[in-house]
Amino acid sequence: MASKKRLSSDERRALILTAAIAVFGAKGYVGTTTDDIARAADVSQPYVVRLFGTKEQLFLAALDETLRLLFEAFERGAGAGLDDEIEARMGHEYIGLLTVRGLHQTLSHAFLLGSHPVIGPRARDGFARVWAYLRDLGFPAERAQAFLAQGMMLNTMIGLRLADAAEVDPRITDLFAACFPTEKATVLALAPRVDEPW
């Protein structure tokens, strides 16, 4: 059993944030305990609280990091080309974010916290920034709208953990084929499964 290394505060924070996105994504803001995250990051529960102040601040940090990774991915996808090409590349990047465990679901959970006095405003601002980003990129309103809607659909299918069902339930096979005409295999390969705790 390897003994644990003493890390710098920043390194430890980064590890805990990664764990937080995974666990918050799987169990939601309220459903996640600071101890869940501590165990996922292999540190003690009080230390998580010590580093981030409160569970609420930890969630805000996880949301910020999630949005940072999202815009980073969008930046990679944006660039020269026709609208169709840009949209395809950005969709591809968004699917690629499935390698960040819990990212899509952390977004979904944040977007359901609209009535939370502290998290709600931050979540609304994040969503509005995504919208503004697409529009500033030159997406016409209707296209931006459809692109976002597809993203919410992917989030939902991930949150439902529908991927295993795609292999046994013909309805779900049909659904995946319709949603991801070109990237079905990638999505099925990267999507979290029912039996994964996170």
Contact footprint for DNA (CB under 7 A): 4-9, 12, 32-35, 42-47, 49-50, 54-56
178 in helix, strand or coil? helix
Q: How far, in Å, CA of 33 to CA of 23, rounded?
A: 9
- Residue 159 interaction partner, one of a second copy, DNA, none, beta carbon < 5-8 Å per kind: a second copy
Q: Is 164 left (phi over 0), alpha (psi -120 to 50) or beta?
A: alpha
| Tokens 């840009």 -> residue | 86
Contact of 21 with 66, CB cutoff 8 Å? yes
CB closer to a second copy out of 24 and 43: 24
Question: Residue 149, Cβ neighbours under 10 Å: how many?
Answer: 10
Q: Is 49 in the site for a second copy (CB under 8 A)?
A: no
Q: Is 38 in the site for a second copy (CB under 8 A)?
A: no
Q: Which of 29, 52, 59, 94 binds a second copy (CB under 8 A)?
A: 29
Interface of this chain with a second copy, residues 121 to 150, rule: CB under 8 A:
123-124, 127-128, 131-132, 135, 141-142, 144-146, 148-150
Least distance from a second copy to the Cβ atom of residue 37, Å: 15
Least distance from DNA to the Cβ atom of residue 110, Å: 16
- Residue 49 interaction partner, one of DNA, a second copy, none, beta carbon < 5-8 Å per kind: DNA
Q: How far, in Å, CA of 41 to CA of 142, rounded?
A: 42
Contact of 32 with 105, CB cutoff 8 Å? no
Q: Around 195, how many Cα atoms within 13 Å sit in the side-chain half-sphere?
A: 1
173 membership: H or E segment, kind and range: helix 170-179
Q: Where along the sequence are the contacts to a second copy (CB under 8 A)?
A: 26-31, 105, 108-109, 111-115, 120, 123-124, 127-128, 131-132, 135, 141-142, 144-146, 148-150, 152-153, 155-156, 158-162, 165, 169, 171-172, 174-175, 177-179, 192, 194, 196-198
